[in-house]
Amino acid sequence: MPTTLLRLAAALIVATIVIGALYFASAVFEPVAFAFFFIAISWPMQKALQTRAPKTVALIATVVVGLVIVFTLTSLVAWGGGQIAHWLTRNFDRLQSVYAAGAQWLEQHDIFLSTLISERFNVVWVLRLSQQVALRLNSLVGFSLLVFVFLALGLLEAEAFAKNLRTVGGEVTGSRLIAAGAEIGGKLRRYMLVRAGASLLTGLTVWGFSLLIGLELAAAWGVIAFALNFIPFVGPLIATTLPALFALAQTGSWELALIVLATLSILQFLIGSYLEPLLAGKNLTISPFLVLFSVFFWGFVWGLPGTFIGVPIAIACLTLCEHFPESRAVAVLLSGKAPKEKTEGEG
């Protein structure tokens, strides 16, 4: 028992030190984590191009394709946020009238929160928040460039690293790590394909529904929904709440806002709870608790980028645990899958 307690205490101390290092040195570890993620996704393209062109040319082509994709997605999100911020600026008077009507309604029902709301959550606060979001999105461009520097170096050394890993780690351990890395790459690629497909469907659905009910900036809401859907739980919640609030600001109708909120919530639930698991298959099964924990934990450690990278990190850790007998129990417990019941005749 004392030995077990000492090991547990040592593990907690090490975990605390690692979390502290990840938090305070996020400028170093955050882009490295994203680089590993993109290496796992883009390695098949790099490997295929190397068979048809020199290694340097294949590397440049892979990095350029990745930059184009990230730049396009970032530009779309920045455009959508800019459209919404511009609309809020042009319709300042309308927002003030909606706010005043809401405050009056609260007072008529003996809910005197107008002073607190006016001090903390007024229209000026909303405008400042929109500006901060836009600035944050712009800063992600510089962060992306740093990630792609690490990506280029990682792709350049990937094959040599695999050979050295087998030599340094031993034949058995090295083989397991290489197999785990290959499986992690396959799972992450499948995860991103599923998320991209579901996000595209979500964006098109939100855009179509916004056009149907006459909501302004329908294309912007579709783009925002597409981007936010890459963040599990938190993203769909925001993508559902914002259009509902916008419907209230545009029309002043609580009924329409509730209809928007309810309809988009149902659509998000159907896509996230039925379509995505169907596309992902059994290989990507992961505990919903672990997904939610990963989003909030890595969001606390690394902010907005952490909410995106949290689930891929969890998938990678679980896959790594599956390849070693000492940690396989952890993968089983957090897989979200019930063990198969033995049928009669199985021993």
User: Residue 158 above 80 pLDDT?
Assistant: yes
Burial of 339 from C-beta contacts in 10 A (0-12 / 13-18 / 19+): exposed
Q: Which residue has the higher pLDDT, 290 or 109?
A: 290
**What is the rounded average pLDDT of the residues 41-56?**
89
* From 99-108, 171-180, 232-241, the region with the lowest mean pLDDT: 99-108
- Span 254-285, pLDDT tens digits: 888 899 999 999 988 888 777 777 776 565 66
- Span 65-116, pLDDT tens digits: 888 887 888 788 888 888 888 887 877 776 666 666 666 666 665 655 556 5
Q: How far apart are the first and last CA of the chain?
A: 34
Q: Is 252 left (phi over 0), alpha (psi -120 to 50) or beta?
A: left
The closest alpha carbon to 118, from 97, 92, 99, 95, belongs to: 99
Q: Which residue has the higher pLDDT, 110 or 247?
A: 247
In angstroms, what CA-CA distances link 163 with 66, 133, 172, 173, 185?
26, 44, 13, 13, 17
**What is the rounded average pLDDT of the residues 305-317?**
89
User: Residue 37 above 90 pLDDT?
Assistant: yes
d(CA 291, CA 311): 6
Q: Which residue has the higher pLDDT, 145 or 228?
A: 228
d(CA 156, CA 148): 12
What share of the chain in percent tops pLDDT 90?
14
User: Residue 315 above 80 pLDDT?
Assistant: yes
d(CA 134, CA 230): 18
pLDDT of residue 139: 67
**What is the rounded average pLDDT of the residues 215-235?**
87
pLDDT of residue 262: 93
* From 34-43, 115-124, 133-142, 236-245, the region with the lowest mean pLDDT: 115-124
**What is the rounded average pLDDT of the residues 191-215?**
90
User: Residue 136 above 70 pLDDT?
Assistant: no
Task: Please give the model's pTM, rounded to 2 decimal places.
Answer: 0.79
pLDDT of residue 342: 47
d(CA 223, CA 204): 8
* From 243-252, 280-289, 302-311, 327-336, the region with the lowest mean pLDDT: 280-289
Average pLDDT of every residue of the chain: 80
